[in-house]
Structure 1
């Protein structure tokens, strides 16, 4: 029997998950009447949350909801024995992430996250080995154009309690996560400048992150430029790497590495493939594992909530 998945939330992220699932999708949970109507018009079965939680054919929930409203639903899902796949950003604080992981462990369920860009890395860079880039200097630049009105008039996106933040939390976060996969756990996070569309919802952030590995990362994320640009450059003592718009080039121990960019839709499918393989007991949950998100959540928390995070 193929695993059934309920996608909770039929916004942009929810539709992306459904595309990645293809014929594996089983149900949509959506409380907003307009979004539910759009799902039904697309031929999708729309069901109540309690209904899918009680359905043994539903083995996993994909939580495509704003960060501020996920925790309660995640707890209900785990209590019902459902595996979890969280949309990014996976948690508002390191403490919330730790609580989610403890909850999943206690419930005996898998916890994954939709950081699909991890699957763009070549195989030799997928292991969590920060020693490879110990002492490296790195830079991250992400530009995704959005007018301020996108954050001022788009419902939950204008509320920092639900959204967590703006461009950094929802668009820059993918490459910030890649940096943490390569460089390890942040030791100190220093925000340098910030512009908000509304209080708590950033449209531009610059900062610096020092890692426990000794690596140093400069960060610039903006929605205030017309350019679409995503680049992470890492320069180590005997290795270097550039990820630009999904394409990877570099050199490891004198050996060149290259990997062409893959469509984001294909990478999202790879996230689900790894989750399904783990659900079937064929392999461990690895690259998509939520536990690999400690670094990026700490980085986000330091950049966006500087008064609440110790340095």
Structure 2
């Protein structure tokens, strides 16, 4: 483990325990050296309740990986960057575009790496889809992203608070894939956002982009998860299903892989590469589309939502 990078994991909730901790444990590139959380911990790992204490107590830790919700994340990221630590951001990279631009400038000034992760881009079918679409004229594309907020965010009211993003929390995963694989840029033209009358963020959304591209996001799906992207070109049709892990070309399966199992290990492999090469990677394209939807979206009020 002498060549492994030491990392502190901040925010020990569901995504940290389900994805980050196993990915770090399985990688020879990483050693989990500390956690920061008000309530959670990882057995056998030094635990701290506040960021400043961890940074002061652990000068040997090179990287801080932030898994807490987007609204409080900026302060933690800024503290880590000021302390000269490399920073890895769970998606979305921040609560606002402006604060992420600030973090980018801080990272550059400190000479450390900043990585805004998009785990769905690491799904098994995404790279092959991007290669197949390269240079092909796209005539139509549609995203269907439907899941249950009760299943994926049980009792987590923060997702419906300002900055929680609502249905764009999963929807931004689809947008991260779309912006990765499309051979041309698109921009939002209109949106319809469904807000429960007792909530501050949308539970469903319909988006229309340039280039005959559209999307439907819905957090009220009580059946199976539907995470599909279908793209028509002048040379055939491509579909990414199961969140990008199953690729079809002209209706023929090109193979399928398990859900999120390979995505977070790939993120940590990329972070190790960035740190060792002295590079940063911050692509804000998916977040720009969400910000545009909040700006252009026509708001409709729907029935109240309770967990």
TM-score, normalization by structure 2:
0.80
Aligned with 1:117 (options 120, 129, 138) = 120
- Indicate conservation of the 8 Å contact 1:119/1:267, yes or no: yes
Q: CA deviation at 1:98?
A: 2.6
Aligned to 1:14: 16
Q: CA deviation at 1:3?
A: 0.6
Q: CA deviation at 1:134?
A: 4.7
Gapped runs of 5+ residues in structure 2? Answer: 299-307
Aligned to 2:303: none
**Greater share of helix:** 1
Matches of 1:130 and 1:90, distance apart in 2: 27
Matches of 2:197 and 2:186, distance apart in 1: 27
- Indicate conservation of the 8 Å contact 2:167/2:218, yes or no: yes
Inter-CA distance 94–232: structure 2 relative to 1 (3 Å threshold): same
Aligned to 1:196: 196
Is residue 296 of structure 1 aligned with residue 300 of structure 2?
A: no
- More deviation, 131-140/64-73: 131-140
Aligned to 1:229: 226
Is residue 46 of structure 1 aligned with residue 36 of structure 2?
A: no
Is residue 104 of structure 1 aligned with residue 107 of structure 2?
A: yes
Gapped runs of 5+ residues in structure 1? Answer: none
Aligned with 1:240 (options 237, 241, 253) = 237
Aligned to 1:171: 170
- More deviation, 58-67/189-198: 189-198
Aligned with 2:296 (options 283, 303, 306) = 306
- State the SS of the aligned residue for 1:208: strand
- State the SS of the aligned residue for 2:77: helix
- State the SS of the aligned residue for 1:242: strand
- Indicate conservation of the 8 Å contact 2:191/2:297, yes or no: no
Q: CA deviation at 1:231?
A: 0.2
Q: Following superposition of structure 1 onto structure 2, how do residues 56-71 of structure 1 map, counting pairs within 5 Å?
A: 56-71=59-74
- Indicate conservation of the 8 Å contact 2:90/2:116, yes or no: yes
Q: CA deviation at 1:197?
A: 6.1
- State the SS of the aligned residue for 1:201: coil
Deviations 1:237-257 (A, max 9, x none): 225321100211226xxxx88
Inter-CA distance 197–140: structure 2 relative to 1 (3 Å threshold): farther
- State the SS of the aligned residue for 1:68: helix
- State the SS of the aligned residue for 1:218: strand
Matches of 1:266 and 1:100, distance apart in 2: 28
Question: Alpha carbon RMSD of aligned pairs, Å?
Answer: 2.9
Q: Following superposition of structure 1 onto structure 2, how do residues 123-138 of structure 1 map, counting pairs within 5 Å?
A: 123-125=127-129, 132=135, 134-138=137-141
- Indicate conservation of the 8 Å contact 2:9/2:64, yes or no: yes
Matches of 2:118 and 2:264, distance apart in 1: 8
